[in-house]
Amino acid sequence: MSILNIETQEGCPIPMSRVLAVDRGDARVGLAISDESRTLASGYGFVRFKGYNDLIENLLSIAEKESVDEFVIGLPLNMNGSSGLQATKSVKLADMLKDKTKYPVNLVDERLTTVEAARQIHASGKKVRKGRIDEVAATIILQAFLDGKKNR
């Protein structure tokens, strides 16, 4: 049996792990996960927010189950780029998660992702449900992150 080393055009190995994205809200947390090649983001549902420690336990459990070795957390900046209360909550989550894992935790600007998520769901003809909006918003955040990494 031979082992194949799959490489990109630049000769760098393709990562064979996943990225987990979080769209943190006060009631629900939308989740999305990448494929193993870190090319495509897919929704991963949502969890109820019952506190930071409970959320971090859930994220670490998913990370272990799904071979995740990087996290993305949506950073809800104000339209002028300033930080408000919700951004502070996302930074707190990122800092707490960094303390509990050896993997990178990235904060990504998520302005207008909820609006875009609702638009996409509506355009698909599906009923716009709050948990589904959170999941789609997390997927948009993650896809933007993955596309940004590809273009670097």
* DSSP symbol at 151: T
Where do we find the tokens 């190995």? 13
d(CA 12, CA 124): 37
Q: Which two tokens stand for residue 93?
A: 């989550």
Q: Which two tokens stand for residue 136?
A: 């789609």
pLDDT per residue over 98-147, tens digit each? 999 999 999 999 887 777 887 888 788 877 777 788 999 999 999 999 99
**What pLDDT does 21 receive?**
98
With beta carbons less than 8 A apart as the criterion, state whether 97 and 56 touch.
Answer: yes
With beta carbons less than 8 A apart as the criterion, state whether 135 and 100 touch.
Answer: no
Model pTM?
A: 0.84
**What pLDDT does 151 receive?**
66
pLDDT per residue over 37-92, tens digit each? 999 999 999 999 999 999 999 999 999 999 999 999 999 998 888 888 999 999 99
Domains of the chain plus CATH, in order, are 18-150 (3.30.420.140)
